[in-house]
Structure 1
Amino acid sequence: MNAITDPITDADLDSYVDDQLHVARRIEVESYLAARPVTAARVMADLRNRDELRLALAGTAAAFRPSIADAARRLERGLSRGRVIGLLQRAAAVAVFVSAGWLANEAVGPLGISEVVASAPPPPYVEDAMRAHGTSVLRASMVSQPEVSDYDPEEIRSATAIVMPALPGDWTVRDVQIYPSRFGPSVEMAIETRDMGLLSLFAVRPGMFDVVQPTLAPASGVSSVYFQIGDVAYALVTTGDVEELDRMADRLAATLY
């Protein structure tokens, strides 16, 4: 077997965004992006803009939103750098004007202000993380359910393809379980920390490659911060301080680069 891998070029990244790569090359590109968060973030932005433009050009009512028009403008500026063929550049401009005209006629008035779009909800895996945290708390209260503190990150990676972040030296693993989730096997860890007491670290492969910086997910009674590196997503869940939890998430995410 030839051990030399073809270097990933800008042309490969463009083809990745345009769905022009075969499966093996897409996997190589995704491995490349997983080690380069800045480049991955740019590529994910291009993918998002591409999909939003496709919605706009599809002519659905949902496409005609200010956010879609803005996406078309952003993509049109990107197209001038040669990312997609000139035909799509003209289509992006048309989508902007069509969206603007539709909004002008259907809004409250020619100078009306559209309704503010609410913040996007957290990803579905955050709900799974909350459920896993509740199950861990329940297990800890049951004498018949002994805790499993043996933690082997390499074995977890081999069995589930989930890469776990490096834990700080002053964290103590109290329990590790593999739970089912809507995305397949997930890892749920109960951890004792010096600063925040007991918290949960949840990890799962949500089936989508992305780079998400630590983000607070508001909930009732508990605090959670989620983030994603490549094809694995993580969530920290606790009843402790949100700001400290956010710092912990940043600390864990840094170990994955």
Structure 2
Amino acid sequence: MFPERDPVTEHDLNAYVDDQLSPALRVDVAAWLAGHPEEAARVMADLRARDELRLALALPNASGNPTTTAIARKLERGLGMGRLYARLQQAASIAILVGIGWAANEVVGPLGVTQSVASAPPPAYVEDARRAHRTAVIRSGMTSQPETTVYDPVEIRAMTAIIMPTLPKDWRVTDVQLFPSQFGPSVELSAEAEDLGHVSLFAVRPGTFDVIKPTAAPGEDASAVFFQIGEVAYAVVAAGDAKALDQAAERLADTLY
């Protein structure tokens, strides 16, 4: 992804956290992070610390000490200047939330993992994936809607900035289409798999950077397993065996590292 520019540097990563990169360079850095999970985790820690500080400062009912607030603003402005202090920054953001009386607790919940977080609904793009899957099933039975088995991940990446995973060898591609979604163009790939039958792989750029391990989202007509690496999110949808679906999503996610 970087044939015509220097490798990603610490300055690039700092600028990414500070939203100081052009859209093209953000795509480059996100693609690089997708192949470097340890660095991606560090960047995620920085982004979380930054957002926690911004949230604490933006709360309308925050009544913290003015001196604490001033220090928080200095930290917020300087978050991207030294990723060596990422852990210290995160600790500082937690201390600030405590100092303002945990006003953020009612807005975003406790900083730890709670039952409400654990039971949160799946991301909105999962429902888009289900709709695309249902549409693909309908298309497969219509003679007036020709399918295309030409699958070119390089072209997809060039036109949409969506990186597609390597498909399992037993998947036979039956259709590849671009679908509109609330997040922009998405990719809907339909295939026949030995252990899943008709399966769809949905990919989209949801507008956020995250690293999410494959997570199941059961459904009435078809189940989904979603995951996200960098700025691209994926959902595997099928009506087949749930365990086989989980395993398929794990294999697909592994090919992106």
TM-score (norm 1): 0.74
- 2:150 matched residue in structure 1: 150
C-alpha spacing 1:189/1:50, structure 2 compared with 1 (3 Å): same
Contact map agreement 2:13 2:43 (CA 8 A) in 1? yes
Report the secondary structure of 1:236's partner residue: strand
- 1:117 matched residue in structure 2: 116
- Give the counterpart letter for 1:120 in structure 2: A
Residue 95 of structure 1, CA deviation: 2.4
- 2:171 matched residue in structure 1: 171
- 1:186 matched residue in structure 2: 186
- 1:67 matched residue in structure 2: none
Residue 164 of structure 1, CA deviation: 1.4
C-alpha spacing 1:117/1:84, structure 2 compared with 1 (3 Å): closer
- 1:97 matched residue in structure 2: 99
Contact map agreement 1:179 1:185 (CA 8 A) in 2? yes
Residue 182 of structure 1, CA deviation: 1.4
C-alpha spacing 1:3/1:158, structure 2 compared with 1 (3 Å): closer
Residue 238 of structure 1, CA deviation: 0.6
Report the secondary structure of 2:185's partner residue: strand
- 1:53 matched residue in structure 2: 53
Whole-Å Cα distance in 2 between the matches of residues 174 and 42 of structure 1?
39
- Give the counterpart letter for 1:99 in structure 2: G
Contact map agreement 2:55 2:104 (CA 8 A) in 1? no
C-alpha spacing 1:239/1:60, structure 2 compared with 1 (3 Å): farther
- Structure 1 unmatched ranges of 5 or more: 63-71, 104-114
- 2:132 matched residue in structure 1: 132
TM-score (norm 2): 0.74
CA RMSD of aligned residues (A): 3.4
C-alpha spacing 1:116/1:152, structure 2 compared with 1 (3 Å): closer
Report the secondary structure of 1:82's partner residue: helix
- 1:8 matched residue in structure 2: 9
Report the secondary structure of 2:116's partner residue: coil
Report the secondary structure of 2:33's partner residue: helix
Contact map agreement 1:125 1:206 (CA 8 A) in 2? yes
Contact map agreement 1:14 1:83 (CA 8 A) in 2? no
Residue 27 of structure 1, CA deviation: 5.3
Whole-Å Cα distance in 2 between the matches of residues 248 and 26 of structure 1?
29
- Give the counterpart letter for 1:146 in structure 2: P
Contact map agreement 2:46 2:86 (CA 8 A) in 1? no
Contact map agreement 1:12 1:29 (CA 8 A) in 2? yes
Aligned residues: 229
- Give the counterpart letter for 1:5 in structure 2: D
Residue 245 of structure 1, CA deviation: 0.9
Contact map agreement 1:57 1:95 (CA 8 A) in 2? no
- Where relative contact order (Cα < 8 A, 6+ residues apart) is larger, the structure is 2
- 2:69 matched residue in structure 1: none
Instruction: Determine which structure has more spread, i.e. the larger CA radius of gyration.
Output: 1
C-alpha spacing 1:5/1:175, structure 2 compared with 1 (3 Å): same
Whole-Å Cα distance in 1 between the matches of residues 7 and 124 of structure 2?
36
C-alpha spacing 1:14/1:145, structure 2 compared with 1 (3 Å): closer
- Give the counterpart letter for 2:243 in structure 1: E
Percent identity, aligned pairs only? 54
- 1:227 matched residue in structure 2: 227
